[in-house]
Each structure stands twice: as structure tokens, then as C-alpha cells.
Amino acid sequence: MRRPKILVVGSMNMDIYIYDVPRIPAIGESVMCGNYAYATGGKGSNQALACALQGANAVMVGRVGKDRNGYALEERLKGIGVDTSHMIFDEEAQTGLAIMNVTKEGKYFCCVALGANTKICPQDVEAAFVNEEYDMLVMQLEIPLETVYRTYEMASRRKIPVFLDAGPAMSIPLDRLKGIFVISPNETETEALTGIKVDTLERIEMAGKQLYDRVNPKYVILKLGSRGAYLYDGEQGKLIPGFKVNAIDSTAAGDTFGAAIAVQLCKGKSIEDAIRFGHAAAGICVSRKGAHPSIPTEKEVVRFLQQRL
């Protein structure tokens, strides 16, 4: 089967992980935690790496600084097979840096210095379209909002479906995203976009319908953590459960989930089968530590699913 070609536009960070965080400290307070580690990450590079590991030819558009962290990100992505020819090494900005605080339950909260990610511009993206064709475009909101809008417009003119992982959480105007292929926020992001806390099935359905009515996508996919994902296509909604695993670090799970779905859809799978595949990929991801190091290969996901049949 031909490997689909997916363009990923998004953020690239070096991550510092602090593990076993007992709780969020108050202002002026220090809490004692476990060990720490460095790992390449950022929502955009997570998506690109996941697309490549899931069987796609991934092309990365993003900005890093001319520093050790930027070169480490390039080396990591190239080593997996991601096309990094449209990565830009910014002369003035630092590579983005994220402090990932991971609790003993495997959940995290994060502080991000976006650095060069704030300078990703439409011209960076336009260069990646020259003499190239893509099966899908994947992006998120960790880059300038105008670049997100312009990227969607460029892809639409070329009839390229766009998968938007609507994170990090923020309230944004959605008018310029009308007709997008997929919009997929998590619980916090859904509340930021809709004002609805998705803590009951009724509210999940309300949020899914509101997003659909405002954006008119092909699909709304709400990521609901351990509850699975809610799929809404404008006519009916369905809660698709995930898999029970021993979660130790949820970093990059949402990025992996979306990337796996995008690749499976490009390979002709149904939306429900693609979501189940995404659940399996995310399930493996949360059972490992780190961003890039936790993302599984397509073969690992297939084996995971075979063991649960």
C-alpha cells in the first residue's frame, strides 16, 4: 500500500520532564518531586513523528532556534524519517522549551516558552506546497493563530483535508475554519471553545453539536481521556471507548491519537476504525514516559489490537 503523504504544521519544543509531582504548588511554594529527564517534543513535532511511525511520509513545517535544542529536534525527526527540509532555524529566536510536570497518576501540567514557534508564518507553510501534493494536513494551535487560519485557507484551495488538533486550550474565533475536515479538542480545550464542561454525556453531546454547528466540519472528535472519544458527524453522535492501560505519562497521547487517526483515514479506513486505532496508539503512549520516546510504531499498535481481540 502506498504510504500517504502528510504535511504537519506546528510547534517544536525541547521538553524537560519532572516526574512524581505531588500537587500543583501555591505561589511562593516549592514541592519536592522525583527525577527529571529531557526529551524532544512539541505538539507539531509529536504529530510529525507519530505520522511517520504510523506509516506515513511526514513533512514538518516549523521553526527552531540555532541552538543545541533545535539541532536535537532536527536530528530526532530525521532519524525517524520525517522530511525536515522545511524546518527553519531562526536567527534570532530560541527553540521552544516546555516544562512538563507529571503527577504520580500520569497526568501532567505544563509551562511553555514558545520561542521560535511564535514566528512561524504563512510564508513558511506556502514554501512547503511548492511542487508538492499531500493527502492530509495536520496542525494545532501552538503557533500564531493567523498562521493557522492562512494554512487552512491554503490547504482548502488545494482541496487538502485538514485535521486540527485544537490545543492548547483557548477560546478562538472559529469562522475562518468553517468546512474543516476534522476538529478534535480534548476536555479542557472543548470547554474553552464552547463554554461547556463535558462532565456528562448530555453535555458532551451539547458540546459536539455546538462545535459542529459553528465549524461545519466533516467530523468532530472530542478527546475525553479515560472515557474514550465522542464522534459527531452532524447527524449522530457516538461515544467510542478507549483501552484500559497502566497510564504513567499522558504527554503526547493526544498528538499520537490524532496523528494515528489521520494516517488511518488516508489509508482508507472508516472513521470509527481509525478512532479505535488512535485509541490503541494513545494507550501505548500513556504507558511510557516522555513525548517522542513514548510514541509507538504502526506494528506496535497492530500487535496491541490483536492482543485485545
Which CATH fold would you assign to the domain 5-307?
Answer: UDP-N-acetylmuramoyl-L-alanine:D-glutamate ligase (3.40.1190)
Q: How many CA atoms lie within 13 A of 234 on its CB side?
A: 12
Per-residue confidence (pLDDT) for residue 248, from 0 to 100? 82
With a pLDDT cut of 70, the percent of the chain lying above it is: 99
**Confidence band, pLDDT 50/70/90 cuts, at residue 3:** very high
pLDDT above 80: residue 309: no
- Domain boundaries of the chain, sorted by first residue: 5-307
- Identify which of 296, 231, 293 has the alpha carbon closest to the alpha carbon of residue 260: 296
**pLDDT value for 1:** 64
**Pick from 3-12, 16-25, 98-107, 230-239: least confident:** 98-107
pLDDT of residue 188: 95
DSSP 95-138: PEEEEEEEETTS-EEEEEE-GGGGG--HHHHHHHHTT---SEEE
**Mean pLDDT, the chain, integer:** 94
Q: Across residues 257-277, what is the average pLDDT? A: 97
Q: Provide the sign of the torsion angle of the four alpha carbons 153, 44, 215, 263, taken in this order.
A: positive
Per-residue pLDDT of 76-111, as tens digits, reads 999 999 999 999 999 999 999 999 898 888 888 888
pLDDT digits (tens, 9 = 90+) for 204-227: 999 999 999 999 999 999 999 989
| The predicted structure's pLDDT at residue 306 | 93
Is 255 among the residues known to form the active site?
yes
Q: Of residues 90, 165, 249, 255, which has the active-site annotation?
A: 255
Tens of pLDDT along 50-83? Answer: 999 999 999 999 999 999 999 999 999 999 999 9
What would the pLDDT profile of 250-266 be if each residue is shown by its tens digit? 878 999 999 999 999 99
What pLDDT score does 246 carry?
A: 86
pTM for this entry? 0.93
Per-residue model confidence (pLDDT) at position 250: 80
Average pLDDT rounded to a whole number, residues 123-149: 96
